[in-house]
Amino acid sequence: MDAKTKKIIIATTGVIAAGTILYFVLRKKTDNSGGECDPTGNGQNCIQVNPSVVADSLYNAMKESGTDEEAILLALKNVNAIMFDQVIKKFGKQSYNKYLGNQINLTPWNPLPLEPLPVWLKSELTTSEYNKLKLKYPQLT
């Protein structure tokens, strides 16, 4: 290899090295300061929750006579307070018989009232279970 080729190789290697260094120095940094799922930015693993799926799971756990409390708690396991608002919105208002705890209408000429998720949960869960949820979700009254 002659001296001219060596100079070209050295110069090309220097340009590539300088370009690589510049890339890492000037590239846009990733913001790890937190977000909706991990608001503290402390790097906790975050499980993305689909509010529609959670709302459907809750509805299915409560719509019939006899509540599946375990299914309710499992559906809400990975739902934080911010996501819970979205679940409430997706749940909407559903026909609900507060006295029987289901959707059975004993007076067909009078439709059942439409109730939001917090009303369903308060009626379906024990006071102790509901109070635990209130600690996690301040939106519940």
| 44: in domain | no
Query: What range does the domain containing 95 cover?
Result: 51-136
Q: Give the distance between the most distant pair of CA atoms in the chain.
A: 100
Overall number of domains in the chain: 1
C-alpha–C-alpha distance, residues 30 and 121, integer Å: 40
**pLDDT tens across 59-100, in order?**
998 887 778 888 998 999 899 988 999 999 999 998 887 777
- Two tokens at 79? 């739902």
Strand pairing partners for 114?
95
pTM for the structure as a whole: 0.63
Measured CA to CA, the distance from residue 36 to residue 45 in angstroms comes to: 12
What's the DSSP call for residue 126? -
Burial class (CB in 10 A: 0-12, 13-18, 19+), 58: buried
- Segment 8-28 mean pLDDT: 76
In this predicted structure, the answer to whether residue 116 has a pLDDT above a threshold of 80 is yes
In a domain, 7, yes or no: no
